[in-house]
Chains A and B, each alone.
Chain A
Amino acid sequence: MGSLIDILGSFAIGGMVVLMIIAFNLKMQEDSRETFSNQNVQGNTASSAEVFDYYFYKIGYKAPGEKIIYADSNSIKFAADINNDGTPDTTRFFLGPKSEMSNTENPDDMKLYRQDNSAAPVLADIVTQFNLTYYDSLNAEINYSVLGSSSERSKIRGIKINLKIESQDKSGDYFPVVEWQKLIRPKNLI
């Protein structure tokens, strides 16, 4: 009888230990995936911030004509001599459709494209939100509805970029996310 209790007790304790080890192992795997996703998303955000700084601060540089050619809530086209070769370039940032990213787990991710002059658009980042807000010299927000007019676009002095980058795959029950925003005031628009 005594040895039977010993055996049953051993099974119970052994089973608990095995369950603890399995749970521990799963937790480690999940944490590792989450850390990787977070680092990835943060790295992408930092890279995108550098790209925006590089292009947006140059808006209007050595561009004698219209400086902002097109502007709306999630796309912009502007003129600037990006490579400083004496010829104004045009750069366009715009979002692709969500259907382009239908193969990922995240239902909201989209491709953010950059198009230089008439070259084929290149992928700038994968984002879940890319929102642009425009401000005039008095720091007042300019309504999107008037931005079709060239004279209204010429009043733009500041552009606020709201960026949200989420992981393409879930980590646990959520998508690791980083939000970033910056109000850029290109010197050549002032």
Chain B
Amino acid sequence: MSATQTLLTIGGILLLTFLMLSYYRSSGTQTEISINNEAIITGTGIAQSLFDEIQGKAFDENTTTSSVSDPNDLSTSPGKDPGESLRSSFDDVDDYSTYATNDTLNKLGVFHSDIDVHYVSASDPDVNSYTRTFAKRVDITVTNNYLTDTLKLSQVISY
């Protein structure tokens, strides 16, 4: 075997090795994307369940038994009210502010959800309002080991 033939053989094997390594890398990425997609589908379902639950509650602690016509009559800051330490005792939307919960699935493990509630301007719900308004934005962030990024969903609830 001449030196040229040896070099050509080594070059061929190297090329084949690079091709295989490149394929295995892209195959790994494909698997990651697939699991991430699955985690997004599941995480979204979990967040939507929480939105459903929150939407079923009164808009504010001060609207649980009576109505309010002036935003200044609403609670000053979102959060749990006295005696509402358990989720089953939450009776209005902002009781869920700073609440966190875990849902565990067999395959993808724990989905951790953090909830935050803010007053927002009805005309610009992306921006938090420092004054009381008749609109609250509920932000839910979902994290899971298989999610490549935090899943964040928001919903505005109006009175």
The interface of chain A, by Cβ under 8 A from chain B, is 6, 9-10, 13, 17, 20-21, 24, 27-28, 31, 35, 38-39, 42, 45-46, 49, 138-140, 157-158, 160, 177-185, 190
Contact = CB atoms under 8 A, between A and B. Distances in A.
Contacts of B42: 178-181
A46 to B, nearest CB: 6
Interface string B48-78: 1100110110000000000000000000000
Contacts of B20: 20, 24
A177 B24 CA distance: 22
Contact of A179 (B24, B87, B107): B107
B153 interface: no
Interface band, chain B: 20 to 34
Interface of B: 1, 9, 12-13, 16, 20, 23-24, 27, 30, 34, 37-38, 41-42, 45-46, 48-49, 52-53, 55-56, 87-88, 103, 105-108
B16 A20 contact: yes
A158 B52 CA distance: 9
B88 A139 contact: yes
A183 B49 contact: yes
Given A21-B16, A42-B41, A181 B46 contact: yes
Given A49-B41, A184-B49, A24 B1 contact: no
B34 A42 contact: yes
Given A139-B88, A140-B88, 18 more contacts: A17-B12, A20-B16, A21-B16, A31-B30, A38-B38, A42-B37, A157-B56, A177-B107, A179-B42, A179-B107, A180-B42, A181-B42, A181-B45, A182-B46, A184-B49, A184-B52, A185-B52, A185-B53
